[in-house]
Amino acid sequence: MNSRVGNLPALSTSFVGRQSEVTEIRTLLQATRLVTLIGSGGIGKTRLAVEAAAVSAHAFPDGAWLVNLAPVQRPTAVPGMVATALGVPDLGTRPLMEQLGGCLARRRALVLLDNCEHQADACAELAKALLSAAPEVRVLATSRRTLGLAGEHLVTVGPLPPADAARLLQDRATTARSTFTADERQRAEIARLCADLDGLPLAIELAASRLHTLTVAQVAERLEDRFALLTGDSPTAAPHQRTLRATIGWSYELCTPAERLLWNRLSVFAGGFALDAAEGVCAGDGIAPHEVLDLLDRLVDQSVVLTTDCDGVLRYRLLESVRQYGWEELASSGQTQQFRARHRDFFLTIARCVDTDWFAGGQAERLARLRADHPNLLVALDYDADPQARLALAGALIFHWCVGGFLTEGRRQLEAALAQAPEPTLERVRGLFAAVWVAQTQGDLAAADRWLDEAEPLTQRLGDPVQLPRADGFRGVSAHYRGHPQESVALYESAVAALVAAGDEREATSWRLALACVQAYAGDPRAAQSCGELISFFEASGERWGRAQVLMALGHNAWAVGDPEATKELARSALENMRGFNDHAMVARMLELLAWATSNSGEHARAARLLGAAEALWRNADTSIGAFGPWVAEQHAHCAKAAADALGREAYAQALAEGGRRNSPGQAIPYALSSDRTSAMPAVPAKALTRRECEVAELVAMGLSNRQIASRLGRSPRTVGGHVQNLLAKLDFRSRAQIASWWAANQKPTRGSTP
């Protein structure tokens, strides 16, 4: 984490009123560790919390992090949602709550737990654990009820006062209709309307969205009719709840039939969704596929659907109160099961495509998509009407679990799906092998062996020509991890030969990769040819994840045979290929290699900084260098001692701490690459660049393409390309990688990143 770190959204609408509450919350966060905003639905708790977190962010150098808990359906999923929001990989065997505490233990960060009320006990348990493990962490929560923890400070969020409510309505009305103005008579009507809406921000937003076609008086009149109709509804509900429900219901009634259908169907999504998901799940039975985008735009105009930018991709979401209304309407139509099944099947198709096309390139982007849809994946997996489909989804998400950093969640989901679908099917074989991979990645070889012992005879009984060789492959993984490389090589070779004969090139490539890497680690003379062939294949397809593994394995081999310069170049190349991935453990291993070779060149301060970054990633991954064998741990200790002896204990500790601030792959990779080339970096100050060029340079350093940068900045790809060319000319560089390295070495990031 570093300055201006975090994931707070860049909101497109202005913040109106509540300045005294913002000041109060900011003051409380300086003096206390847990602040909870209490208030009814639609009262504006989330918007207030985000604003207070944003103005307090400078006090938290390790980031302000928003965790939306509205999609969470089970208490056990709360820690996972927090880890996802913070970018903390779930890679260890310890409970995820402990992993989160360990990751945040040395951080000064603000964690914003939003929408806690339906999982209040689980949120309270998590907040207590985080505050206990991380003394510099602050928690800001929003809820309709207190968390009930000692030391919890409550801030009651009430309706907007009349003046602020009127300002909010006028501000949003101007957005809806640029020509909107308010004379004295209209100001009186605005005041009456805001009073009728009880000063509820969400109700005001919904009402204001109608002012592009109706006058204030007409909106007020129609809402009064709606309130009259609902006077008998839910007599035990609080007045604000009745007002909000009436306003949402009125907005619903003003929608066209097609808009209502889409609103209902969108309620099956959790946390947000992309356009293709809306089209894939919601089209049909009254909505043509080509109509979905237009209907979405109309719902956005009416403040029913909100938009957000996620890594250059436009995503949509519904506020929880709005989503719940649509869900009730969907249930009343008797279509809940139909659209939950569509939702599950859509994400099953996505997961299978990621699995099938894994070596075709674009892996980081695919994993980012799955990460953004993680709440939807959990909802889809909770739909257990068809146990075989649930098992298929859990197994197809194997790269999301193992490479995307969700091992504990993946294991839980696979165990549950396997228990629910015990039939001896091919889907069970796939699920068992997925569970084996997860357990092996966690280092739990005993559990992996148990699942293998079930899967192997089942594959033999079913006789599937693709699944049979996978048993040999996974046996080879266990042999490798137990220190038997020759046995591993033989098993991998058997798997590759059988899969080639079966005609499954995708699966054969997986085990070719495993074979080439173990040959390189073992010093097998065939490694150079095996690795070279794979690298050529991966370069042709644009694949980077497997390429990075091969380069790292060759780097270890180069170090073992005493070639530090080759080690350094191979480690650099491996790191370049890991841009955009969130694999903490793999990047840490590459940093270790680079540190050893750098120390060998006498650059002990740089080596110490690289070790510090690696150690931070080890901690985040809930593992250590020792997990990869005694030889690797010995090399780490030797490098650390050489650096400490050369620098002195105090300077070594400072260098280690400096590197440790780069505690995510997104920060550590450009830092490591730039630190090796610092002497060659031109001392071009930021003032020599325009503000836009600085923004583009930072986004290039984050690994974004011209198209993604264009989407982020609201410019055309051609314009962004011009900025990149200007940067190359001013800095006298030839590649984007040099821009990224220069930025990491010379500038302070201004955008969010992961811890």
**What is d(CA 290, CA 166) in angstroms, rounded to the nearest whole number?**
38
> Most confidently modeled of 241-250, 261-270, 304-313, 686-695?
261-270
Domain membership flag for residue 11? no
**What is d(CA 709, CA 726) in angstroms, rounded to the nearest whole number?**
15
Across residues 728-746, what is the average pLDDT?
Answer: 66
Which of 230-239, 371-380, 451-460, 712-721 has the lowest average pLDDT? 230-239
Cα–Cα nearest to 13, from 200, 202, 184: 202
Read off the pLDDT band of 7 (50, 70, 90): confident
C-alpha separations of 583 from 248, 402, 570, 655 in Å: 43, 9, 18, 24
Q: Name the domain count of the chain.
A: 6
Answer for the pair 672, 610: CB distance below 8 angstroms, yes or no. yes
Of 304, 334, 364, the residue at which a domain comes to its end is 334
**What is d(CA 128, CA 135) in angstroms, rounded to the nearest whole number?**
11
Domain membership flag for residue 753? yes
Note the pLDDT of residue 679.
39
Cα–Cα nearest to 254, from 230, 227, 223: 223
Read off the pLDDT band of 455 (50, 70, 90): very high
Q: Which amino acid is at 215?
A: T
Copy the structure tokens of residue 551. 């380069």
Question: Helices 292-301 and 257-266, interaxial angle, to 10°?
Answer: 90
**What is d(CA 649, CA 641) in angstroms, rounded to the nearest whole number?**
10
Mean of the per-residue pLDDT values for the chain? 86
Answer for the pair 328, 245: CB distance below 8 angstroms, yes or no. no
Note the pLDDT of residue 741.
58
For residues 25 and 93, membership in a common domain is answered with yes
**What is d(CA 104, CA 79) in angstroms, rounded to the nearest whole number?**
13
- Through-space distance between the first and last CA atoms of the chain, rounded to whole angstroms: 5
pLDDT over 80 (residue 755): no
For residues 469 and 568, membership in a common domain is answered with no
More confident residue, 464 or 726: 464
Give the CATH number for residue 416: 1.25.40.10
pLDDT digit string (tens) for 588-642?
999 999 999 999 988 999 999 999 999 888 887 767 676 666 777 888 899 999 9
Across residues 532-556, what is the average pLDDT?
Answer: 90
**What is d(CA 698, CA 525) in angstroms, rounded to the nearest whole number?**
43
pLDDT over 50 (residue 230): no
Give the CATH number for residue 92: 3.40.50.300
Pairing mode, strands 273-274 and 34-38: unpaired
Note the pLDDT of residue 454.
96
Cα–Cα nearest to 513, from 494, 528, 535: 535
Q: Which amino acid is at 137?
A: V
pLDDT over 50 (residue 746): yes
Which of 216-230, 514-528, 628-642 has the lowest average pLDDT? 216-230
Report the run of H or E that residue 455 belongs to, with start and end: helix 445-462
Answer for the pair 437, 481: CB distance below 8 angstroms, yes or no. no
For residues 366 and 465, membership in a common domain is answered with yes
For residues 619 and 749, membership in a common domain is answered with no
More confident residue, 116 or 698: 116
Q: What is the dihedral of CA 92, 95, 98, 104, to 10 degrees?
A: 60
Beta-carbon contacts of residue 235 (< 8 Å; ≥ 6 apart): none
C-alpha separations of 135 from 102, 106, 111, 517, 618 in Å: 11, 8, 13, 42, 21
For residues 359 and 439, membership in a common domain is answered with yes
Q: What's 233's DSSP letter? A: S
Which of 171-175, 636-640, 704-708 has the lowest average pLDDT? 704-708
Give the CATH number for residue 267: 1.10.10.10
Q: Is the dihedral of CA 15, 19, 22, 26 positive or negative?
A: positive
pLDDT over 50 (residue 678): no
pLDDT digit string (tens) for 387-403?
999 999 999 999 999 99
Q: Is the dihedral of CA 686, 689, 690, 695 positive or negative?
A: negative
Note the pLDDT of residue 240.
63
pLDDT over 70 (residue 558): yes
More confident residue, 444 or 341: 341
For residues 647 and 736, membership in a common domain is answered with no
How many helices (H) and strands (E) the chain has is answered by: 37, 8
Of 675, 706, 731, the residue at which a domain comes to its end is 675
Which of 241-245, 259-263, 415-419, 509-513 has the lowest average pLDDT? 241-245
Q: Which amino acid is at 534?
A: L
For residues 351 and 448, membership in a common domain is answered with yes
Name the 3-class secondary structure at 517. helix
Copy the structure tokens of residue 130. 């985080």
CB atoms within 10 A of CB 645: 11
Domain membership flag for residue 385? yes
**H runs (alpha helix) in 302-335:** 320-332
How far is C-alpha 726 from the geometric centre of its chain's CA atoms? 32
> Most confidently modeled of 99-113, 144-158, 159-173, 343-357?
343-357
More confident residue, 42 or 413: 413
Residue pointed to by tokens 């799940």: 281
Cα–Cα nearest to 545, from 368, 313, 423: 368
Report the run of H or E that residue 110 belongs to, with start and end: strand 110-114
pLDDT digit string (tens) for 340-366?
999 999 999 999 999 999 998 789 899
For residues 144 and 171, membership in a common domain is answered with no
Beta-carbon contacts of residue 667 (< 8 Å; ≥ 6 apart): 1, 2, 613, 661, 744, 749, 753
Copy the structure tokens of residue 682. 């031109």
**What is d(CA 517, CA 489) in angstroms, rounded to the nearest whole number?**
10
**What is d(CA 524, CA 517) in angstroms, rounded to the nearest whole number?**
10
Across residues 101-117, what is the average pLDDT?
Answer: 89
**What is d(CA 410, CA 461) in angstroms, rounded to the nearest whole number?**
27
For residues 368 and 404, membership in a common domain is answered with yes
Across residues 65-87, what is the average pLDDT?
Answer: 89
pLDDT digit string (tens) for 47-61?
999 999 988 988 898
Name the 3-class secondary structure at 274. strand
**What is d(CA 616, CA 361) in angstroms, rounded to the nearest whole number?**
29
Note the pLDDT of residue 481.
87
For residues 229 and 264, membership in a common domain is answered with no
Copy the structure tokens of residue 554. 């060759």
Answer for the pair 227, 196: CB distance below 8 angstroms, yes or no. yes
Number of residues written out for the chain? 755
Note the pLDDT of residue 700.
76
Report the run of H or E that residue 417 belongs to, with start and end: helix 407-420
Domain membership flag for residue 10? no
Domain membership flag for residue 13? no
For residues 656 and 751, membership in a common domain is answered with no
Across residues 478-486, what is the average pLDDT?
Answer: 89
**What is d(CA 534, CA 606) in angstroms, rounded to the nearest whole number?**
32
**What is d(CA 455, CA 395) in angstroms, rounded to the nearest whole number?**
14
Domain membership flag for residue 34? yes
Domain membership flag for residue 1? no
C-alpha separations of 529 from 160, 554, 593 in Å: 70, 11, 22
Copy the structure tokens of residue 84. 């996802």
Note the pLDDT of residue 628.
66
Residue pointed to by tokens 């009436």: 246
For residues 293 and 190, membership in a common domain is answered with no
Sheet of 313-317, strand order: 273-274, 313-317, 306-310
Note the pLDDT of residue 753.
38
Across residues 319-335, what is the average pLDDT?
Answer: 91
Of 675, 694, 728, the residue at which a domain comes to its end is 675
**What is d(CA 37, CA 25) in angstroms, rounded to the nearest whole number?**
9
**H runs (alpha helix) in 561-629:** 564-577, 584-600, 604-620
Copy the structure tokens of residue 745. 């070495």
> What domain range is 558 assigned to?
544-675
Domain membership flag for residue 2? no
Answer for the pair 176, 211: CB distance below 8 angstroms, yes or no. yes
